[in-house]
Amino acid sequence: MITKELVELIRGSADVLKPLCGKFKHAPQEIGDWVEPEPYALAWRSKLDELATMLELQGFPVTEKQLHHIKSMLGVFGGNGTLDDLFFNADKYEAESKAVNEKLRERIGFLRNVFGEGPNYT
């Protein structure tokens, strides 16, 4: 049964999105120097972090029904609006977007393996 590994992967996926959740353009920070967060990154980061926290608080093991729900909630196997569908263009976040996309693809591959659905595809 899946235990803490799943929580670590979900929380790690949330952490991958952190660079797109708002930043200052320069250091030291000045008024008007804030770059607005990428809304999908912010929404998914919150969703993933909350899911990991709920799983930690409930304890283990995770039931088969819960795993099925988490699997469909995350959508790691594709579909519009799912985690697998998430991709960031380099408009506000230039280099960060590319790095986040690469790390997110890797995390989704790990989640697929946890759910027993094979390796990552890109």
**Comparing 70 with 78, which gets the higher pLDDT?**
70
pLDDT of 107 above 80: yes
Interhelix angle 4-16/94-114, nearest 10 degrees: 160
Q: Band of the pLDDT at 15, cuts 50, 70, 90?
A: very high
**pLDDT number for residue 5:** 84
Cα gap 122→109, rounded to integer Å: 9
**Domain range summary for the chain, segments of one domain joined by +:** 4-114
One-letter amino acid of 85: D
Helix or strand or coil: residue 13? helix
**Comparing 16 with 112, which gets the higher pLDDT?**
16
13 in Cβ contact with 104 (< 8 Å): yes
Structure-block tokens of residue 93: 């976040």
DSSP 8-state assignment for residue 61: P
**pLDDT number for residue 120:** 39
